[in-house]
Amino acid sequence: MGGSINKSILVFAGVCFLLAVCLFSGCSDIKYADRQSDDEKIGVCSPSPSIEAKNNDEKSNLENNANQTSEQSNKNTFVFPFDTNIRPYAVMIDNEGTRVLPQGGLAFAQIIYEIIVEGGETRLMPIFWGTAPELIGPVRSSRHYFLDYSMEHDAIYIHFGYSPMAKDDLKKFKIDNINGVANGGEIFWDLTNDKRNWQDSYTSAKRIKDYCSKVKYRQTSDKKPVFSYAGSNYVPDNSTDAKIVNIRYSSSYTCSFEYDEKTDKYLRFRKQKPHIERNSGEQLTAENIIIQFVPSSTIKGDKYGRQQVDTVGKGEGYLITKGKKVSITWSKDSRTSPTVYKHKDGSGIKLNKGQTWIQIVPLSGKVEIKP
C-alpha cells in the first residue's frame, strides 16, 4: 500500500516538473503566450521567436553605442524624405502603461503617427528614412489601420504579432513586413529577463536592414513624398498663437506639446510627464504637429475592444509649427492612396524642416490649443 502511494507521488511530481518546464522554458515562453493571446495567436510549446541579448555586457554596449549615435544624429542635418530614394521603415511602438518607458528610436524618425487602440491607449508608428538608431522599441503588434499610413510612404512594416484584421490586410495588400512571431523573429531581442513582460522587445536599424537584404525586400522607392517642406522658418498665413497643445484621446490617455521659444520647437509630454527618448535620455521634441480628426469606433463583437479607425474620407484638423496654428483639411481616397492635407483656401500645406508628429485623434477626443 505504502509503495503504491509513493509511486503515485513520484508520478504526480514528475508531471508537475514537466508542466513547469513547458511553462518556463523557451518551449513555452509565457511572455509570448501572453503576447499571442493579445493578438488571438495563442500557441504554446513553440520556440520563442525573439532572441534575448546574449548578456548584460551586450545590452550595455548597445546602449552606449546608441547614446553616441543619437548625439551624432541630433547634430546632423535633417534627412528629408524627398532627398533620398531609400525605402523607409515603419515600426509599431508600444505606448501602453509605464513599463514601455523610455521608448527607443522615436527621436530618429522623420514622421511619427499616434493612433488610438483598444483600452483607450495609443500606439506609435515612427517612420525612418536613412537614420540608424541602435535601439528601436518596444515593438508591439499591428493594427490594420496603421497599415493605411505605412502604405502611403511605401514603407517596410515592422511589428510583433497582429490582430486578425491586420493579419488579413498584410496578405491582401502584399505588404513587405517583418513579424516578431513569424518571419524575422531573429532581429529582435529582449531588454529584460522577465518572462511575463511582453513590452520589452527591441530591434535596431541595422538588424532591420540586414534582414531586408537577406529576404531581398526592395530597399529603394520612387514613391512621391506625402509632404512638401518649406525653405526655412515657415509660418502659415492667417495663423494664430499656439504655445500649448493638449490632446485627450480618451479618459485614460493624454499627450501634450509645449512651445520652447529658445529652440523654436515643441517639447512633448506623455500623460503630463516629459516624453523621453531611450537612446539619448533627452525629451522628445517636434518641429511640426498635425492634428487630424477621424471617426473611430469599437469593432462590434471584438472581445478585446479593438478599434476601427476610418482613415478613408475627409475631415478637419490643424497644422501647428513655430508657435502658430492654422486650420487645415485632410482627404484620403482609398486605403492605399496618400492623405492630402490642405489649407482652407485649397493650397497644400508645407512643413518646416524637422520631426513631424501626426496625431490621429478620434472625434470623441478633445484638443485644446492655448496661445
Whose grid coordinates read 522554458? 25
Residue 15 has pLDDT above 80, yes or no: no
Domains 56-214 and 228-370 share a fold: yes
List, as one string, the DSSP characters of 99-150: TTPSBBSGGG-SEEEEEE-GGG-EEEEEEESS---S-BB-B--B-HHHHHHH
Q: Which three cell numbers stand for residue 115?
A: 493612433
What pLDDT digit, counting tens, does each position of 169-190 carry? 999 999 999 999 999 999 999 9
Regarding the domain delimited by 228-370, which CATH topology (the fold level of the hierarchy) does it fall under? YerB-like fold (3.50.90)
* Mean pLDDT value of segment 139-166: 98
Average pLDDT of the chain is 85
Residue 73 confidence (pLDDT) above 60 = no
**Section 63-73 average pLDDT:** 45
Domain boundaries, the chain: 56-214, 228-370
Query: How far apart are the C-alpha atoms of 208 and 366, rounded to whole Å?
Result: 36
Residue 75 has pLDDT above 50, yes or no: no
CB 221 within 8 A of CB 85: yes
Cβ–Cβ under 8 Å, residues 134 and 198: no
Confidence of residue 146 (pLDDT cuts 50, 70, 90): very high
56-214 fold: YerB-like fold (3.50.90)
pTM of structure: 0.85
